[in-house]
A and B are shown apart, each in its own frame.
Chain A
């Protein structure tokens, strides 16, 4: 158990709908990363939040958005869903202080949310 929790575990919805995925980081971790694992794209980085602020964006669609709340949990919002959005969505957390090049902080992955769009 990594200490990172994600809800729900499974989500089935229809095209055009909107869903929210939730991630609670490990206690003390300030960074949350979101990744998408799909058959087409493999495992790819979507977005990184540190202490409530967006730090970096990867291949995240405009239909997707995220935020990190004052209690450090994060939500990934997916809207106007398409069949191709069906994937396993992971979040990961780390301590990750900014501005310290060369200092790595390990990412701990949650169990993922499996999204199926019908």
Chain B
């Protein structure tokens, strides 16, 4: 069975601080994908990143960076120089790929509040 754990329920930081959101996953598959989604107050799910299990390179996109470590089954997300617009709920998700059914297993989410 797959499981995604986001131990941080809520985080508040002052604007311009860096913040890291933790994600730990469990799967028995050797081929899987990890994701981060952002859910702003408006409610839609915004895709941020996808990483497959064979690619452990860290990725940076502007102020966002992701650290994937298979050894610790973690896929952490860092926002540098946070901004008020970053306030949202962030979900980590996992998908194995089994006969074309890429259902996503989501963590419980981390509510991030950026204080101006």
Binds B, one of A17-25, A67-75, A76-84, A101-109: A101-109
Q: With A48-B101, A98-B100 in contact, is A106–B47 under 8 Å at CB?
A: yes
Give Cα distance in the complex from A99 to B103, angstroms: 14
Instruction: Check if B43 sits within 8 Å of A88, measured CB to CB.
Output: yes
Q: With A42-B108, A43-B91, A104-B33 in contact, is A55–B45 under 8 Å at CB?
A: no
Give Cα distance in the complex from A90 to B106, angstroms: 13
Residues of chain A within 8 A (CB-CB) of B50 are 104, 106
**Which of B50, B103, B105 has the most chain A CB atoms inside 10 A of its CB?**
B103
Give Cα distance in the complex from A101 to B29, angstroms: 11
Secondary structure of the A contact surface, majority rule: strand
- Number of B residues, CB within 8 Å of A: 24
Which parts of B77-105 form the interface with A (CB within 8 Å)? 91, 95, 97-105
Instruction: Check if B100 sits within 8 Å of A58, measured CB to CB.
Output: no
B109's contact among A43, A107, A108, by CB below 8 Å, is which? A43
* Nearest neighbor of A43 in chain B, beta-carbon distance: B106
A94 at the interface (CB under 8 A from B): yes
Instruction: Check if B99 sits within 8 Å of A98, measured CB to CB.
Output: yes
| Closest CB in chain B relative to A101 CB, distance in Å | 6
Q: With A101-B31, A102-B31, A106-B47 in contact, is A45–B97 under 8 Å at CB?
A: no
